[in-house]
Structure 1
Amino acid sequence: MSNSYGNTYYSEAYNNKELQQNLKYRKKYNKLKKLIKNTVVENAALCDQVAQMQENLIIVKDERLMLLKKLCQLQGEIDPATFLAKSQMGITGSPVQNSDMFTPKKNIKKRNSVEIHAKPKRCTKTARKVVQLIPLDIHGRPIFPISLGDLTVYSLGDVVADRVAYHTEDLIYPVGYCSTRVYASLKDARMKSLYTCKIFDGGTKPRFEIVSDTELDQPLSGLSPDECHSRLLTAISSSLSSIIPKGADFFGISHPTIQNLIQSSPGTRKLSIYKPQKFEISKHSTDRDTSPITEEENDPGLGFSALHRHYALSSSYSIKQESTNHKLLNFQELLS
């Protein structure tokens, strides 16, 4: 009896010890499981935070690039790469100048001599086109539509760099470009009409199109902006064929503000024929006197009011030569 009682006692004690050990390991297992779960959740949160930081970094880079472009425009430089190269050259050259106390004076003399003899470079500043300030979003991108007098631009399109016909030395023809302009109507030259100007992908050469809001089924197409503008003037009246066509101005792709935006688009550096233009931002109100809007208001081929003024003056002049008793011809009779 004593032996059987002792065996049962030891077996129960052993079982209790094993049970306690199992409970101990189970607690460790649950603790490790909870720790792993918290680690996985924390890792996921860190990954989301890294993704958010990368997105913020991309936005900051875009803002930095836009600010750099504005700084380049203010300082007369169009290509940010050249501006960065010059700034890097200035940074790397500073220790060399500080190593010798007399080198700064020599450099100053050389710079003064260069500025004195560099008169042609000063003359090139007058050839820079004045860029008007336009509204921008928080990332520095232009807000569409861009209104510039009678011209309104809705899309800049995409620069085509692999085909030579889509640009010249002075102009770029981006595919998808869209703008509108107010001009004389095709039905009645005394009335205003809204014309939509677009540039399409025509294969080897771009295709230009002008459509009136009153004649949507009769688009005026051509292989160049001047061809479209000439067809528009002829369609309004045969007497307008004497006006020199200015298709690039009518489309708006030669406007300094729009041309600067197109030149800043991706793919412009790959253009083989195009020569980058120099622009400067309008700083004073006097710069508006040289703005292309003033020229368009005085050009009968681009402005509605200028067209009426031009024919009113020419008609009154011719009538005074013939006879003062005749009545002034109206604008519709002049265009008929």
Structure 2
Amino acid sequence: MYNDKNSQTWTDSVYYLQQDHSLDVIICIAPGRKGNSPIYESLKYYLQTECNIPSQVILADTISKNSRSLRNIMKNLMIQICAKMGHSPWVFKSLPLMNKPTMIISMDVCHRVETNNKSVLNLVASKDKYVASFYSASVSQGEEQRIAFSIQKLFMEALQEFNTKNGLFPQKIIIYRDAVSEGQSEVTLRTEVPELEKAIKNLKDSGQIEEEPSILFILANKRIEQRFFTQDRRGNLKNPRRGLVIESKITRTDRFDFYMISHAGPTGLQCPVRYEVIKNTFQDLDPKDLYDLTNILCYEFYNLQGTVRIPSPLIYAHTMCNQISKICNHQVEVSETPEALKDKLYYI
């Protein structure tokens, strides 16, 4: 079936294989190359919407045309499969701001689903103190909605998942939200923060939680023009070291915001991220703890053994956006997360 370009043949084979065997993971080596495979989208759509089993689709050209780096390719695939099955390839033993039961939530929206013009809100929420296991879910919204108006249900499900895993609800909630633009922080504050507060209130009114958790809501904006450089002894400009935080001089005096460079990049092209805290009910929050947590989380993205620009939960939410928009472009229905896969990083 290696060279078969009929997607129905592939989906039928997977279906019958699943009927005859108890499978933990499905791995397919499909014909074609990246961006030009005759069956990739339809096969991924079937695997992620109907199989309810973690899956990995490997394109044949990825293996055959990269023989010299095959060892690294296989290593990265094993890491991906490990994460998709609900395991944690690596963790940090201790993280700042995690001294009490804490859940970290990230959200992103994709609106590139061409067939029905709907946008899809994606939410990823951590379930342990290592920020290594996650609840992932998505929900369809109206056409071209960038600000999420109906996310209360996802918030409630995430809180209940945390309780199921840990035997208690989080005492602190930290939200990293992909920033929509420089000028829409007030809109986010008026729309999304109340949805979280309503979810907490519903759980409190129903007697599931006794004390409301503290909330730290942060916007992460990658679309900025600022660039930063350091100067060596000879007067040459170069990129700052990873982990640089700018918290004064160019930040706003009326808000809690900061810039961070957490990854390496070409000189002149290394892009910082602006973080803005729009809601904070934490008591005695030490900004340095927030800086350290944000920077450390940039090392926990399981698709890359290095650092990324923004915290890993936010990258996961963005990755789920891309995956859903990619496999749903030519489908009638928007793909929403199956129940069986909500506790796995099935989309990385």
- Whether TM-score is above 0.5 comes out as no
Comparing both structures, which one devotes a greater share of its residues to helix? Answer: 1
Comparing both structures, which one devotes a greater share of its residues to strand? Answer: 2
Query: Which bin holds the TM-score, normalised by the shorter protein?
Result: under 0.3
Q: Larger RCO: Structure 1 or Structure 2 (Cα < 8 Å, ≥ 6 residues apart)?
A: 2
- Larger radius of gyration, structure 1 or 2? 1
What TM-score do the two structures reach when normalised by structure 1?
A: 0.27
